[in-house]
Amino acid sequence: MAGTEYTLPRAEFDKPVKLLIVVAPFYRDIADQMIAGARAEIEASGGTYDLIEVPGALEVPTAIGIAERMSNYDGYVALGCVIRGETTHYETVCNDSSRGITMLGLQGLCIGNGILTVENRDQAVARADPAQMNKGAGAAAAALHLIALVRKWGGTRKGVGFLPDAEEYKLAGDL
């Protein structure tokens, strides 16, 4: 029996955040539901966003990498849906899109991964629908929480060790 899912409180910001939603709309209706959830979560946090579409889930990490190098976003929301088919292409797309997003995250990018990997259309609909599992909002919330961590830890760094007494430093400089 599964336990109750816990959701972190919504991330809060004292300065505006801007995200890029990158979506692979292969299943347009599923993508639109996920976009709606992501938009609502970003707006509820006081953030703004741009939205771009790419041909498929494999292109999502590439687009995020390009955007990171050539633009100025605080974070990214990766959206798409991969439904198991009759070939091993499913495993390739699921594994490689996830690996690409993970690698970008480990480089310090704030990415919420909302690429659904499901067995059938009914599972996709349940996860995408903002009135049900709302995985688009979940991906946006994940990105926002990572941005909040970067802002928390990204302030002015204090040096390690000691600072010499100002008077001693001044005297040493006179020698």
Per-residue confidence (pLDDT) for residue 174, from 0 to 100: 53
Write the class of the CATH domain 18-174: alpha beta
Per-residue confidence (pLDDT) for residue 2, from 0 to 100: 61
Per-residue confidence (pLDDT) for residue 154, from 0 to 100: 85
Domain boundaries along the sequence of the chain: 18-174
The pLDDT > 70 percentage for the chain reads: 86
* Cα 37 from Cα 33, distance rounded (Å): 6
Per-residue confidence (pLDDT) for residue 31, from 0 to 100: 98
Low-confidence ranges of the chain (pLDDT < 50): none
Per-residue confidence (pLDDT) for residue 1, from 0 to 100: 52
pLDDT digits (tens, 9 = 90+) for 100-130: 999 999 999 999 999 999 999 999 999 999 9
Per-residue confidence (pLDDT) for residue 32, from 0 to 100: 98
The residues assigned a catalytic role are 89
